């Protein structure tokens, strides 16, 4: 995949998915920014004439939808790219480069790579976390295929990680921060024994070893200084870093999250919590794999039910990038939402939640030309072109 540098670009004949409707318009791009939406042949001819001697590249989008690029605020699959199997680590730079190359073919133009600090249940060691943060941060200063952002997921019981989070906030190396609590008895592991079963399966340990893990985790959790965490959230806010909570399972947890200044609640465990969070003005984020598979792999809340109630504002790919675009088209095909409304869940609302909607998330003059052309085969969307800042970073065809 090589980027084509074209100052002027015209995308013609596609069905353009605007914020609130579908239109048949041409999209004119200049210098990586959407310059105009042209509604008829005469307007197109006038625009072509206005370019003078400047080269005007054209893409024929006939038979396809033109969407804003997907903005994925939570995906931790980069960790599996580094360690696809237990004890099989690959070089961080190689893993990141290979992972990034996959994003445009899934229609993702902005990725908040979700890196976990302190979970301790899979890859997620300090040295790998800090190494990947440094790798992504350095890489995006030099070149990028997509817009690479860093979502730091901080396990609040990991007391030794506080200084790492503080450092990265001060250095401007992270773009999104979520607070997590994966201790047994609440959130994702609310059901008795669910945490222990997960650890034994994931790490191959026996019941005696898992009991030691649980005891140590609960001991650390009892030592959390919540006011220190509140100060950390204030520091993030001063740096314009948006905050999220994770796996809230009660009204009380939502209230605690709100007190910390969060704007997003990721994967609420039950409908009562999702309703309360949405009604309180938080962006509720659900997972695309949950939608595509028809339910939660942990037997928690169905994402489709939250969307049908109008309480979900964001869909993320969670751990499976190819699910994001599929989930959006599924919602439209099943008549749950019209296509523009479904697309907003993966574009506009994530941009609003992360504070970047002035530049990304919709197709409109003055916004970045982050665009995808989407065809369909047997009900499955597939991307034929991905543009980031007006540059074609991915194209595909079929035999």
List b or e across 52-85, with b for residues whose CB sees 16 or more CB atoms inside 10 angstroms.
eeeebeebebeebbbbbbbbbbbbbbbbebbbee
> What local confidence, expressed as pLDDT, does residue 222 receive?
72
Residue tagged 């190396």 (tokens): 173
pLDDT in tens, 311-359: 999 999 999 999 999 999 999 999 999 999 999 999 999 999 999 999 9
Do residues 44 and 35 lie in contact, with contact meaning Cβ atoms separated by under 8 Å?
Answer: no
> What local confidence, expressed as pLDDT, does residue 119 receive?
66
The mean of the pLDDT values for the chain is 91
**Could you tell me the strand order of the sheet in which 380-388 lies?**
22-24, 15-17, 65-68, 371-377, 380-388, 391-395
For residue 284, what is the enclosing H or E element? strand 283-287
Residue with the bigger pLDDT between 227 and 317: it is: 317
Q: pTM of the full predicted structure?
A: 0.91
Do residues 370 and 352 lie in contact, with contact meaning Cβ atoms separated by under 8 Å?
Answer: no
> What local confidence, expressed as pLDDT, does residue 194 receive?
64
Confidence label for 182 from pLDDT (cuts 50, 70 and 90):
low
> What local confidence, expressed as pLDDT, does residue 118 receive?
80
Phi, psi of 23 (to 5 degrees): -140, 155
Q: Which of 192, 122, 135, 184 is nearest to 157 (CA)?
A: 184
129-138, 201-210, 239-248, 312-321 — which is least confidently predicted? 201-210
In angstroms, the CA 319 to CA 287 distance is 9
Q: How far is CA 272 from CA 22, 252, 277, 298, 311, in A?
A: 34, 11, 9, 18, 11
Residue tagged 């099943």 (tokens): 334
Which positions ≥6 away from 366 have C-beta within 8 Å?
A: 33, 34
- For 11, what's the count of Cα atoms within 13 Å in the CB-facing half-sphere? 36
């Amino acid at each position: 995949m090589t980027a084509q540098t074209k100052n002027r670009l015209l995308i013609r004949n596609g069905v353009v998915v605007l914020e609130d409707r579908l239109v048949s318009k041409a999209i004119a791009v200049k210098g990586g920014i959407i310059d105009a939406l042209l509604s008829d042949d005469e307007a197109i001819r006038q625009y072509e004439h206005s370019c003078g001697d400047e080269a005007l590249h054209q893409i024929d989008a006939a038979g396809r939808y033109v969407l804003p690029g997907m903005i994925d605020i939570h995906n931790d699959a980069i960790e599996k790219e580094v360690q696809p199997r237990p004890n099989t680590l690959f070089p961080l730079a190689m893993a990141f480069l290979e992972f990034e190359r996959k994003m445009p073919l899934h229609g993702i133009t902005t990725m908040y790579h979700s890196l976990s600090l302190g979970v301790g249940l899979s890859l997620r060691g300090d040295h790998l976390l800090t190494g990947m943060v440094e790798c992504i941060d350095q890489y995006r200063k030099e070149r990028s295929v997509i817009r690479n952002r860093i979502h730091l997921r901080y396990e609040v019981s990991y007391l030794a990680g506080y200084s790492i989070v503080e450092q990265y906030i001060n250095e401007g190396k992270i773009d999104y921060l979520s607070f997590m609590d994966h201790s047994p008895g609440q959130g994702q592991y609310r059901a008795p024994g669910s945490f222990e079963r997960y650890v034994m399966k994931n790490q191959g340990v026996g019941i005696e070893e898992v009991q030691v893990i649980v005891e140590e985790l609960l001991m650390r959790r009892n030592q959390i200084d919540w006011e220190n965490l509140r100060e950390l959230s204030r520091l993030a806010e001063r740096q314009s870093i948006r905050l999220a909570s994770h796996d809230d399972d009660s009204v009380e947890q939502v209230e605690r999250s709100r007190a910390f200044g969060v704007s997003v609640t990721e994967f609420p465990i039950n409908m009562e919590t999702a309703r309360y969070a949405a009604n309180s003005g938080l962006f509720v984020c659900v997972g695309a794999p949950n939608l595509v598979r028809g339910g939660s792999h942990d037997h928690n809340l169905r994402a489709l039910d939250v969307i049908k109630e109008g309480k979900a504002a964001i869909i993320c790919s969670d751990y499976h990038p190819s699910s994001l675009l599929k989930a959006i088209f599924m919602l439209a095909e099943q008549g749950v939402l019209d296509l523009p409304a479904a697309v907003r869940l993966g574009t506009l609302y994530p941009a609003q939640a992360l504070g970047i909607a002035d530049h990304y998330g919709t197709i409109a003059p003055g916004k970045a030309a982050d665009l995808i052309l989407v065809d369909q085969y047997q009900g499955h969307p597939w991307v034929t072109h991905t543009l980031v800042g007006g540059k074609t970073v991915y194209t595909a065809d079929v035999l």
